[in-house]
Structure 1
């Protein structure tokens, strides 16, 4: 399956698109990468994803697929090499549950904690740490959520490993205490040292600049929106 069959529209810092990149690379799928400017969206993006108008969009055999979790499942069903989701239906359901749960709870709370201060930041950090406690329980005794190898859930929540430390620095806070969450911290190290992951991370200094800018330019209306 050559790169002419597969295209990925993404924005360099998007954790949603990054998980799609990881899935394609783990499966050895060649693809053409198309960088999008989410602040000045191209006609191609609007045409391929008219409903959400967001990245990532995967185009396979000229058919577009949107929403990163849906794309992950499509990739897993289309390219059988290196299966991502567990075979057991209950384990598959659990992986989907945790992927969504972490996104909704830790993603929102971490973003708010980074971009606020005072009581608002404290409240968001409390929510984020509560989610971290649950993640810690799930990963205890395992190298990866997928067992011995990176699987669907590792890819789905892999943003924690490289993005949360950036948010912590930008927001002058700590969500992931290595002493309190040793199993999670060990997983982060395992995950980030995997060749596929290590070679496709956004540059940290560039991310710091981006999120400092986002924090400083974040309107209060948007903050309230993220909190809901």
Structure 2
């Protein structure tokens, strides 16, 4: 893009949604200023830029705010047309990616949130839901990648890679804290292989907190 190109991101370090946006910005090579927000003491700018939800995360591009991670990611892809493209050019392929992106956000991620925020019987139910939905996603990805396309090509990350990395990137920490095997190589070998390759990428290593922390 020509002319002024100022990008700021209001986020929170523990937010998977913020990580999604940061991954997209880094993949595209877009310089940005990251502003850490305290949700107990929200900044005046955050309240100004996101008056509806009053929460992170918000992308500010040349003074114009965009909120909601899926909207921000598509905005980034449409505004900065440099590789890698987050969504395919072909309308049908793009629709398939959007379908599975929605599944990750509305099914997988939500069930994981229930798992880590519940206790007792409710947590057991949430754990079963995570296993079931991971199985659905595993089978869906087997079909999606059946054409031989290799996921997490270092030069061609896509939207699903970003969502997968931000959702499961810290799975080892969650497993230790909650005593639940979130990523099982025996039950979901494709997903396990996928996240392992993602975590080895320099962009992921520089974004996710170290396992030891």
Shorter-chain TM-score tier? 0.7 to 0.9
* Unpaired runs of at least 5, structure 1: 207-228
Q: Residues of 2 paired with 1:167 and 1:178: CA distance?
A: 16
For 2:78 and 2:103, locate their aligned partners in 1 and report how far apart those are by CA, in whole Å: 23
Of 202, 206, 209, which aligns to 1:199?
A: 206
Aligned to 1:18: 19
Structure 1 residue 151 corresponds to structure 2 residue 158: yes
Shift of the alpha carbon at 1:111? 2.1
Q: In the alignment, is the contact (CA less than 8 A) between 2:17 and 2:57 conserved in 1?
A: yes
**Mind listing any 5+ residue stretches in structure 2 that lack a counterpart?**
none
Q: Alignment RMSD, CA only?
A: 2.2
Pair 1:85-2:97 in alignment = no
Normalising by structure 2, report the TM-score. Answer: 0.87
Query: May I ask how many residue pairs the two structures share in their alignment?
Result: 206
The aligned counterpart of 2:194 is 187
Shifted more, 73-82 versus 164-173: the winner is 164-173
CA contact (8 A) 2:47 2:54 kept: yes
Length-normalised TM-score, structure 1: 0.82
| 1:1-228 pair list within 5 angstroms | 5-82=6-83, 83-140=85-142, 141=145, 143-144=150-151, 149-206=156-213
CA distances 1:94-142 after superposition (whole Å, capped 9, x unpaired): 2122222222222222122223333222211111111111221233355
For 1:133 and 1:147, the matched residues in 2 are separated by 26
If each structure's helix is expressed as a fraction of its own residues, which one has the higher value? 1
Seen in structure 2, the aligned counterparts of structure 1 residues 135 and 170 have a Cα distance that, compared at 3 Å, is same
Rounded to whole Å, the distance in 1 between the matches of 2:150 and 2:19 is 21
Deviations 1:50-72 (A, max 9, x none): 01112111111110100011000
C-alpha contact 1:138 1:145 (8 A) present in aligned 2: no
Indicate if the aligned counterparts of 1:58 and 1:66 stay in contact, CA closer than 8 A.
yes
